[in-house]
Structure 1
Amino acid sequence: MLKIQEIRELIKLIDTSSIDEFTYEHEGSKIKMKKNAVLEGQEVIQSVPSAPAVQPAQQPAPAAAAPEAVEAPKAEQKETKDSQSAGAGSFVKITSPMVGTFYSASSPDAEAFVKNGSKVSKDSVVCIVEAMKLFNEIEAEVNGEVVEILVENGQLVEYGQPLFLVKPE
């Protein structure tokens, strides 16, 4: 069986390689890793005004009420599509390229790399993700304005986890 340190090394190697899927089997143990790169670690999303979410019914609805329950989500989906096409701008997610600890600044007493409203360019450092005692500077890879910081300083982050929302220029 692999030790946790060896698994972390494998994750790092797979993360930096062009391999999208990796499977390792040995003596009845199996490790399977997949990564999905969208625009090299970025994912475009549409901003949608917040609307109350429709909660699924806790108990099955009677057969007579079922058609109404099915129709309500369709109407909401149409409304959401209309609001997206009405010019609600799109944002780009800057995601974590690895598992590690998120740091908003280079040291505890230093100022944060970016704040809400900060302008960034493709090569701007937006944060540091520490993995296995290595401090990796994460670049924006997009020109724009930071709209929202999605994680807290010192928080553990996963591979592919959104860190920032940026309004592209």
Structure 2
Amino acid sequence: DSGVTVAALVVANAAGSVTDPETGALYGELSGGGRVAYPAAEVHEAARLRLAEVAARNAPPPLNTTLAVVATDAALSKAQAQKLAGTSHDGIARAVRPVHLLSDGDTVFALATGARPLAEGDPLALNEVLAAGADVVTRAIVRAVRAAESTEGPGGAWPSYEELYGG
């Protein structure tokens, strides 16, 4: 409502899963309050079989991470930007389970251009920006997962969500 812009850019390579094992739906869509795309039962079962097949052949990935940059045009102090980075981590937790594992290097960076001052006299004006940070990180992870392409290399085959579940 304030007109402040908050956006996120994410590189998703988490050790945890982005899909609900019962339905195949993306966690980020389940928690996002928007339209959830539930794959057909037969599509989900085929995806589970394919994932089990590649898991049996793949070497376990040694390190994973989800990296995010959250940017806003709000005027934030260094401490407020640090708080934005911290609360934006919640967006990762909404989209990946389990999250922040020992083999993950999950990190969120925040930056603020300072173009829009926060509402004067409202000590809670920052809350809107903090909540938006978590929301846009969740959405950016969903977009990253949907945009990812399958890959194959020395460590194994890594099918994409699109390959497994289609559009």
Q: What TM-score do you get using the length of structure 1 for normalisation?
A: 0.21
Q: What TM-score do you get using the length of structure 2 for normalisation?
A: 0.22
Determine which structure has the larger helix proportion and give its number.
2
Quick one: higher RCO (CA 8 Å, sep 6+), 1 or 2? Answer: 2
Determine which structure has the larger strand proportion and give its number.
1
